Amino acid sequence: MKIALITDSVAYLSKEEQEKMNVYILPLSVEYEGNVYVEGEDLTGETFFDLIRGGATLPKSSQPTLGRTMELFETLSKEYDAAIAVHLSSDISGTFQTTFSQKDSFDGFTVYPVDSRRAVGSQVMLLRLAHKLIQEGKTPEEIIPALQAHIQTHNVYFLVDDLTNLQKGGRLSATSAFVGKMLSIKPLLTIDGKIEAIEKIRTFKKGVSRIVELVEAHAATLNNVPMSMFVYHGNALNVAEDLTQQLKAKFPDSEFQITSFGPVIGTHLGEGSVGVLFGEKV
């Protein structure tokens, strides 16, 4: 049985891993001031923040178009028997639902959509596991339960440095944003389906330390197995490197990767944000 791997652009999969695992990408887009930019093709994280810095409006993200999705499925149906599609959380985007609705559109070819419940590194870990199991000759019916089980080891914590994007997006009142800036309040976020604020931190330095504490607590529930840790940032490489060093000191047997946010996640979290997504190492 020949099985393809699909994901969306929010996985922020490196070109090296994309080629190694032969992953097909469905890109999301962002609309800003009347223009539509395809993530990973027209805009990267760095150029995205340059584009919107100082703007009066917040970009809007859009899922992959139905036409592009169907075009990919049709192409794959000519070469593969099935595909496993790992997507960002269905509570954040309609990408998963679109794939689900079209999973049996072509005779002899079935798409098995997987909701990562988060995004970015969660998608990468699931793709790695799926690729490993495909190489072992497993069927989709055997692979999907293994992916669902692995999701249970995942967690993520993000610290938002600038409240402006949350305020512009209607997630925070203008008054609260102003007071938050004056008091240097930084919301600590997690994602389990939806983006949720779990704590308010007074300083960014304390926030980074708090992330390390939370990762330690979660790791203890997994019996401190080696993990894959993806440290993400919105144009804040120095802070991301500091967080990575603190985590490496606590988790010497885990693997680490530093990556900048792309436009879609950058729209939600804004410039200056930093965080870590992690799960059991594949």
pLDDT in tens, 33-86: 999 999 999 988 888 999 988 777 888 899 999 999 999 999 999 999 999 999
pLDDT, position 180? 55
- Report if residue 185 sits inside a domain: yes
Print the domain residue range for 266. Answer: 155-280
- Residue 54 carries which DSSP code? T
The residue type found at 195 is: I
Neighbours of 118 (CB within 10 A): 26
Both 138 and 240 in one domain: the answer is no
pLDDT, position 171? 47
187 near 200, Cβ under 8 Å? yes
pLDDT, position 48? 92
How large is the average pLDDT for residues 3-20? 97
**Domain holding 135: CATH number?**
3.40.50.10170
- Encoded tokens for 142: 């055997």
Both 127 and 8 in one domain: the answer is yes
- Report if residue 171 sits inside a domain: yes
pLDDT, position 109? 98
- Where does a domain end: 135, 151, 167? 151
Both 173 and 259 in one domain: the answer is yes
- Encoded tokens for 252: 């010497």
- pLDDT by residue (tens digit) across 194-219? 888 888 888 889 999 999 999 999 99
Both 130 and 190 in one domain: the answer is no
- Encoded tokens for 139: 């069927």
- Report if residue 17 sits inside a domain: yes
Cα distance from N-terminal residue to C-terminal residue, the chain: 23
- Report if residue 14 sits inside a domain: yes
- Report if residue 42 sits inside a domain: no
Both 10 and 143 in one domain: the answer is yes
CA distance 213 to 274: 15
pLDDT, position 239? 94
pLDDT, position 44? 85
- Where does a domain end: 136, 151, 166? 151
Specify the number of domains making up the chain. Answer: 2
Both 127 and 238 in one domain: the answer is no
- pLDDT by residue (tens digit) across 221-231? 999 999 999 99
**Domain holding 231: CATH number?**
3.30.1180.10
Lowest-pLDDT choice from 11-20, 132-141, 266-275: 266-275
- Encoded tokens for 189: 């976020």
Both 91 and 182 in one domain: the answer is no
- Report if residue 33 sits inside a domain: no
- Encoded tokens for 208: 């980074």
- Report if residue 39 sits inside a domain: no
Tell which wins on pLDDT, 20 or 160: 20
Both 138 and 159 in one domain: the answer is no
- pLDDT by residue (tens digit) across 229-273? 999 999 999 999 999 999 999 999 999 999 999 999 998 888 899
CA distance 193 to 90: 7
pLDDT, position 167? 59
- Percent of the chain predicted with pLDDT > 90: 74
- pLDDT by residue (tens digit) across 148-181? 999 999 999 999 876 666 556 554 455 455 545 5
Both 224 and 241 in one domain: the answer is yes
CA distance 154 to 281: 10
Both 182 and 241 in one domain: the answer is yes
Both 97 and 137 in one domain: the answer is yes
- pLDDT by residue (tens digit) across 82-106? 999 999 999 989 999 999 999 999 9
- Report if residue 56 sits inside a domain: no
Which pTM value belongs to this model? 0.93
- Where does a domain end: 151, 169, 197? 151
Both 11 and 131 in one domain: the answer is yes
